[in-house]
Chain A
Amino acid sequence: MASKSRSSASKAVSKDNSSLKTGAEIIVDTLIKLGVDTMFGYPGGVVLPLFDKLYDAPINFIIPRHEQGGCHMADAYARASGKVGVVLATSGPGACNLVTGLATANMDSIPLVAMTGQVRTELIGNDAFQEADTTGVTRPVTKYNCIVKDVKDLARLIKEAFHIASTGRPGPVLIDLPVDVQVNKASTDGPDKIELPGYRIRTKGHARQISMAAEAINNSRQPVLYVGGGVIIANASDELRALAQKANLPVTTTLLGLGSYDQSRPESLDMLGMHGTAYANFAVQECDLLIAVGARFDDRVTGKLDSFAPNAKIIHIDIDPSSISKNVHVDIPVVGDAKEILAEMIKEVKPQPRKKWFSKIAEWKKKFPLRYDKNSSQVKPQYVIDELWRQTKGRAIITTGVGQNQMWAAQFYHFSMPRQFISSGGLGTMGFGLPAAIGAQIAKPDMTVIDIDGDHSFNMTLTEIPTAVEHNLPIKVCILNNGYMGMVRQWQELFYGRRYSKSYLANPDYATVACALGAVGKTCDKKADVPKVIKAMLAEKRPCVVDFRIEREENVWPMVAAGKSLDEMDGLDILERLI
């Protein structure tokens, strides 16, 4: 093999050939050294040298049916495990199919390394077969990307990619690998220390800022902790709990923060925002101090910006300086890692009863709980989720599609553990649920993983069912089948005079589809059957798809319409009328 080498590097390096490795070998060796034991990817012409090395590498390799699915799998693997997800695709079409997955991970700050094949370096720019300007296409949807032009840089660039993906505010990093770089030889394992002069992360919070924040908490009568995905990324749930309990602070989380705080605790206000609880939104609007931790003041959270938390001083703890004062002016910024900062803050906060504030909150909780019509004869989506929660004792990993199904999952499954809720928040990518369940199940083989999906979200990536079948993954897919793009239909009902324009599509019979694809398929169209169907589903060892034929025009309440303040929620009257 060495004798056939056309490598230029082998000429340049004056070592004997035995210590030289091909680019493909360097990639695999570096990945293994970095602790990678699981990868997702799809082959193609220009990644064949690498695939050849993966043939007998000690890496669990999962081939999706579409690169987008593979990217979501790697993303959810990262969300569930806290490790870096790794995905591999060929040049051109393979690389382009990763784009949605990369953008999804980028918006939600998920650590991912994507590797793509590329045409030979000397062909780049010539419109070669299956050439796409992958770094150009993916630049806006990655934290960083680069192309490796010389095999001598390969090990270093892979190490840098993992470092950049997993530190600071995490995100996807893409490395483009021309086929000749995979074949050429070099002797280097890359440097032991990573040197990136332009990439410095501050994790330790400024002591004075921390003291100011703690003092503001001690002086506050009506504080609210507003917690986001950053707390999960930072593995800071223990510190968060300690702070909230010591200083006696009510806690609301964003969609991506769900699980960072045990929702069964009395100080939990559940989710805030567009489809958050009334008590969370009221508390934010009336608080005198808002303590944002690893949250980014997304417009689905703040509602109308001018009237967001109008009486509050704002503390913002975030590792990314550009997150601070981006949307909302912050009074006390603390830049750094949430875990380190919260641990410091705990020492300086004092216990406070805040009786009046908590009794006000208790009143809101009593008056405006999340509710649904339990007397309806139909299968209510909230009931399905309620029952899932009961039967799994609240301990399943939940992934979601996008739309109403996602909001109901967020509202009615009560989360108590970080990394338990896996959902595309920032990009809102339909089709995320099923591949995400696969990635999460691979990361957590002993946990029950349930994809609570929408019919149309499921339609987008159901091609991954055979992937789950192939790997014997006992994932469960609960399709909340309303026959509509329900969230679109809800907006059309509310804002477009019930003109349901193009939000309906004929669906297949999902149970039949599931069976044909090798999974277990079930249908549930009777309310009375819900508990036993769920019980049977949970007992399945094979991938199982259940088509719940839910009430077709059920809406998600409450709702803060676009441009409204957080406390101007629609649907509270509807919820109040239910008992």
Chain B
Amino acid sequence: MKHIISALVENKPGVLAQVAGMFAARAFNIDSLVVGRTEDPKLSRMTIVVIGDDRVVEQVRKQLAKVVPVVKVQDFVGEPVVARDLMLISIVAPPEKRPEILSLIEMFKGKVVDLGLKLVMVEVSGPEAKIEAFINACKPYGIKSVARTGTIAMPRTAKTEP
């Protein structure tokens, strides 16, 4: 099962290496890992998507909490959350196909961010499933390259953080 785990970490050098190293050393599988700043300059948030049964994910949670600069760990499984990925995708778009492609982009509420002679670059964000669906829809035209952020998430009911 897929779990979105959110970890508030102290904004110190070496934290990412400590967390990533722990995952590797304990043979936990990471689907994605996103690190970014938060409202507090002393803290960063890592959003980690892991796949595993309950026992494995419980260990992930406990082992994460054990990493010294990790301040708080939350597993969002079973909670109402807003989870989003961001993607930049470059699609093969010769002039005759452009109307079709543009309406596809429209359907997915994507944004054209760059246009070349043969390629169009699109920005799409949303739940992971939507991103996957967009990729699939673009496949027939040819995909040049994809850059994705991985998931970030926040619970829907406002919760107070430390």
- Which B residues are closer than 8 A to A by beta carbons? 9-10, 12-14, 17-18, 21, 25, 55, 58-59, 62-63, 65-71, 162
Whether B63 lies near A322 (C-beta < 8 A) is yes
Q: A136-B17, A140-B21, A164-B68 are in contact. Are A198 and B10 (CB under 8 A)?
A: yes
Interface string of A107-124 (1 = CB under 8 A from B): 000000000000000000
Whether B62 lies near A197 (C-beta < 8 A) is no
Across the interface, name the chain B residue whose C-beta is closest to A144: B68
Report how far A136 CA is from B25 CA in the complex, Å. Answer: 13
Q: Which of A162-202 contact B (CB under 8 A)?
A: 164, 196-199
Given A135-B14, A198-B9, 4 more A-B residue pairs with CB atoms under 8 Å apart are A136-B17, A139-B17, A139-B18, A322-B63
* Closest CB in chain A relative to B48 CB, distance in Å: 16
B70: which of A135, A198, A322 is its contact (CB, 8 Å)? A198
Interface string of A369-389 (1 = CB under 8 A from B): 000000000000000000000
Across the interface, name the chain B residue whose C-beta is closest to A133: B17
Whether A198 lies near B62 (C-beta < 8 A) is no
- Categorize the interface residue count of chain A: 20 to 34
Q: Which residues of A contact B55 (CB under 8 A)?
A: 325
Q: List 30 A-B contacts (CB under 8 A).
A: A135-B14, A139-B18, A139-B21, A140-B21, A140-B25, A143-B68, A146-B12, A146-B14, A147-B13, A149-B13, A196-B68, A197-B10, A197-B71, A198-B9, A198-B67, A198-B68, A198-B69, A198-B70, A198-B71, A199-B68, A320-B66, A321-B62, A321-B65, A321-B66, A322-B59, A322-B63, A322-B65, A322-B66, A325-B55, A325-B58
Q: Which residues of B contact A321 (CB under 8 A)?
A: 62, 65-66
Q: Which residues of B contact A139 (CB under 8 A)?
A: 14, 17-18, 21
Report how far A153 CA is from B161 CA in the complex, Å. Answer: 28
* Closest CB in chain B relative to A548 CB, distance in Å: 40
* Closest CB in chain A relative to B141 CB, distance in Å: 43
Is A11 part of the contact surface with B, judged by Cβ < 8 Å? no
Q: Which residues of A contact B58 (CB under 8 A)?
A: 325
Q: A139-B17, A140-B25, A196-B68 are in contact. Are A322 and B10 (CB under 8 A)?
A: no
Q: Which of A146-168 contact B (CB under 8 A)?
A: 146-147, 149, 164
| Closest 3 pairs between A and B when the two form their complex, measured CB to CB | A322-B62, A198-B71, A144-B68
Provide the main secondary structure of the chain A interface.
mixed
Whether B59 lies near A326 (C-beta < 8 A) is yes
Across the interface, name the chain B residue whose C-beta is closest to A199: B68
- Which A residues are closer than 8 A to B by beta carbons? 135-136, 139-140, 143-147, 149, 164, 196-199, 320-322, 325-326
Q: Which residues of A contact B62 (CB under 8 A)?
A: 321-322
Q: Which residues of A contact B59 (CB under 8 A)?
A: 322, 326
Report how far A473 CA is from B9 CA in the complex, Å. Answer: 47
Q: Which residues of B contact A147 (CB under 8 A)?
A: 13-14
Across the interface, name the chain B residue whose C-beta is closest to A149: B13
Q: Which residues of A contact B70 (CB under 8 A)?
A: 198
Across the interface, name the chain A residue whose C-beta is closest to B55: A325
Q: Which residues of B contact A143 (CB under 8 A)?
A: 68
Across the interface, name the chain A residue whose C-beta is closest to B58: A325
Report how far A147 CA is from B15 CA in the complex, Å. Answer: 12
Report how far A199 CA is from B72 CA in the complex, Å. Answer: 10
Q: Which residues of A contact B63 (CB under 8 A)?
A: 322
Q: Which residues of B contact A145 (CB under 8 A)?
A: 14
* Closest CB in chain B relative to A163 CB, distance in Å: 10
Report how far A198 CA is from B43 CA in the complex, Å. Answer: 11
Q: Which residues of B contact A164 (CB under 8 A)?
A: 68
Report how far A320 CA is from B69 CA in the complex, Å. Answer: 16
Report how far A164 CA is from B18 CA in the complex, Å. Answer: 15
* Closest CB in chain A relative to B8 CB, distance in Å: 8
* Closest CB in chain A relative to B89 CB, distance in Å: 35
Across the interface, name the chain B residue whose C-beta is closest to A143: B68
Report how far A136 CA is from B18 CA in the complex, Å. Answer: 9
Across the interface, name the chain B residue whose C-beta is closest to A197: B71
Report how far A147 CA is from B67 CA in the complex, Å. Answer: 16
Report how far A436 CA is from B104 CA in the complex, Å. Answer: 70
